[in-house]
Copies of this chain bind each other. A is one copy, B any other.
Amino acid sequence: MKYAILLSYDGTNYRGWQTQKNGISVQSVLEGAAYAAFGKKVNIVASGRTDSGVHAAGQVCHFSADIAVPAEKIADALNFRLPPDISVLKSVAAPAEFDSNRSAKQKTYCYRMYVARREHPLKSRYAVAVYPRPDIGLMREGARLFCGVHDFKAYCASGSSAKTTVREVFSVGVRAAFSRGCDDIEIEVCGGGFLYNMVRTMAGTLLFLGQGRLTLSDIKNSLELGERALVGKTMPAKGLTLEIVDYGFDLFGSE
């Protein structure tokens, strides 16, 4: 039987999704919980890797196993063996051909910042303090330049093994809201797939644009020429969250 799970984790204490030689990964903890729950080794495949320190609100995974637990009870069986910073929100039986990675049609990431000269302990776990205040209107103009099919070579960490650096970005939204004495800024990026560090580098580029350290022309040129020197810094992992993975059908049903 094939199963799909909707997974959320606080990435602070993990070296990313994938099992690594040093440091604990979300995958290894989850597979450990599955082994304890089902009494057999299970290989759990995610929609994609998340980097060290990146969070997930709606990661999707699949696995195949011959187990007696009803599909909808798998979530509780796993949660019983998981630490509080990893939780299975839903579990369902999946179509035989379903593959959480290859079947994914669209992914939504959100990068969070707040405008402050000093760290706010209640914001800093999932967002990054930035200063000075960026121009949100300008960031929105820059965001539009990313939409469509582009070669994101300039936004890809060196050493990536991707076959092509061409990706399609469906939308990039920039939201600002005032809370607790300062502005929160959210950059929501929706696309077919992303290169290693791509969303974090897009976020840093939009920030630099809003702060006047880069221009709209720089962004246009970075996409045309693929030059790393024209883009902003790769922002810290803790501000990034994988929000939604979309498969073109309602995999988990509604509550």
- Measured CB to CB, the residues of A under 8 A from B are 8-10, 55, 57-58, 75-76, 79, 84-89, 116, 118-122, 124-126, 180-182, 241, 243, 255
Given A89-B181, A125-B125, A243-B180, A119:B55 Cβ within 8 A = no
A122 to B57: give the CA distance in the assembly, Å. 7
A180: chain B residues at CB < 8 Å are 8, 57-58, 243
Q: List 17 A-B contacts (CB under 8 A).
A: A8-B122, A55-B122, A57-B120, A57-B122, A57-B180, A58-B181, A75-B118, A76-B118, A84-B119, A84-B124, A85-B121, A87-B119, A88-B118, A89-B120, A89-B181, A122-B126, A182-B255
A58: chain B residues at CB < 8 Å are 180-181
Distance to closest chain B CB from A16 (angstroms): 15
Q: Is the CB of B118 within 8 A of A86?
A: no
A181: chain B residues at CB < 8 Å are 58, 89, 255
A118 to B78: give the CA distance in the assembly, Å. 12
Q: Which residue of B lies closest to A89 (CB)?
A: B118
A119 to B84: give the CA distance in the assembly, Å. 8
Distance to closest chain B CB from A112 (angstroms): 11
A86: chain B residues at CB < 8 Å are 121
Q: Which residue of B lies closest to A55 (CB)?
A: B122
19 additional contacts (CB under 8 A) given A57-B122, A76-B118, A88-B118 = A8-B121, A8-B122, A8-B180, A10-B121, A57-B180, A58-B180, A58-B181, A79-B118, A79-B119, A84-B124, A85-B121, A86-B121, A87-B118, A87-B119, A87-B120, A89-B116, A180-B243, A181-B255, A182-B255
A180 to B79: give the CA distance in the assembly, Å. 19
